[in-house]
Amino acid sequence: MIRFSQVTFAYPNQAPLFQDFDWQVEAGEAWAVIGPSGCGKSTLLYLVAGLRQPNAGQILVDGRPVPRPRASTGLVLQDFGLLPWATVWENVALVMRIGQFYRRKHTPPDAPRPYPRPDIAPAQVDRWLARLGIADQRDKYPGQISGGQRQRVAIARSLLQQPNLLLMDEPFSSLDALTREDLQRLTLELRQETGVTTVIVTHNIEEAVYLGRRILLLGRAPNTVARVVENPGAGALDFRRQLAYQEKCTELRTLLAEESGEPKK
């Protein structure tokens, strides 16, 4: 699904975050990406999403390079991803509305852009609103609903794209503990329902262990090798209560401490 070969990336006038970096994600896998801040976690996601281009090397998603965002990659950010001036319904329906906008402008059918998406109908918007439990918020603005509900809107909006790849950047970091666990559980359920490949970036060890069957460990830049922790127990809704979960958290904590060079007790 995702293939990084010899990828090098640096922001202008900064030291590279990735150098000759290889990484591979198979279809249907559930990945978590964890590491200290500034290690390039979010950048990795933007590279996969086609929002940034590597300086060297190649990134293939679904076998193709991503010079621009692709139609079937969903992206959920920590915050500020929703349009403050659009209602919940309008926000979720955004991919459909953008499609309609371009259809009216008569984009040539051979245009490289994979949009518009004429396959998405308003009924599907309502279906996802209902599935995410925000149907009764449909006419409110993002400023009027809670942080947890806002992230539900962001997830519904991505799922409306019918993605085969879902990228999430610290999606639940600004939420309180209960809401966060609620949404993590929901993420697992939605994964099981849709079979979508997920890559979730987080700085939270518990979140990485709960949601990532494979965990990519990033360290201080530049990252040259993909260090992967296998976590086959993840995916069960009650994984949090299992012993394996605790052990995996401890293991990850030790690895991260080594990574940052200052072992903690």
Partner 1 sequence: MRRRELLLATINLLIVWQLLAWLLRIAVLPGPLAVAQVFGRELLRGLGWHFLVSAWRVIASIVIATALAVPAGLVLGQSQRLNRLFAPLIYILYPIPKIVFLPIILLFLGIGDTSKVFIIFLILFFPILVVVRDQASALRPELIYSVRSLGAGRRALFRFVYLPATVPAALTALRVSIGTAVAVLFFAESFATTSGLGYYIIVESWGRLAYEEMYVGVIAMSALGLLLYFVVDRLERRLAPWMFARDR
For partner 1, the binding residues (CB under 8 A) are 46, 49-51, 69, 71, 73-86, 94-95, 97-99, 101-102, 105, 113-117, 140-141, 143-144, 154, 157, 161
If the CB atoms of residues 97 and 185 are measured against partner 1, the closer one turns out to be 97
How far, in Å, CA of 87 to CA of 67, rounded?
31
- DSSP, collapsed to helix, strand or coil, labels residue 18 as strand
Minimum CB–partner distance for residue 1 and partner 1 (Å): 16
If the CB atoms of residues 117 and 248 are measured against partner 1, the closer one turns out to be 117
If the CB atoms of residues 19 and 197 are measured against partner 1, the closer one turns out to be 197
**DSSP letter at 223?**
B
Minimum CB–partner distance for residue 234 and partner 1 (Å): 25
If the CB atoms of residues 111 and 236 are measured against partner 1, the closer one turns out to be 111
Q: How remote is the C-alpha of 101 from its chain's centroid?
A: 26
Residues near 265 by beta carbon (within 8 Å), at least 6 away in sequence: none
- Nearest Cα neighbor of 253 from 204, 195, 184 is 204
If the CB atoms of residues 101 and 237 are measured against partner 1, the closer one turns out to be 101
How far, in Å, CA of 236 to CA of 81, rounded?
29
**Contact yes or no for 172/208 (Cβ under 8 A):** no
Minimum CB–partner distance for residue 122 and partner 1 (Å): 16
> Does a cis peptide bond (omega within 30 degrees of 0) precede residue 109?
no
If the CB atoms of residues 70 and 213 are measured against partner 1, the closer one turns out to be 70
Name the H helices within 50-110.
88-92, 94-104
- DSSP, collapsed to helix, strand or coil, labels residue 224 as coil
If the CB atoms of residues 154 and 209 are measured against partner 1, the closer one turns out to be 154
Residues near 63 by beta carbon (within 8 Å), at least 6 away in sequence: none
Minimum CB–partner distance for residue 251 and partner 1 (Å): 32
- Nearest Cα neighbor of 74 from 167, 185, 175, 148 is 167
Residue indicated by tokens 């990519």: 216
Minimum CB–partner distance for residue 99 and partner 1 (Å): 7
Return left, alpha or beta for 134; rule: phi > 0 is left, psi -120 to 50 is alpha, else beta.
Answer: alpha
Minimum CB–partner distance for residue 250 and partner 1 (Å): 33
Minimum CB–partner distance for residue 204 and partner 1 (Å): 19
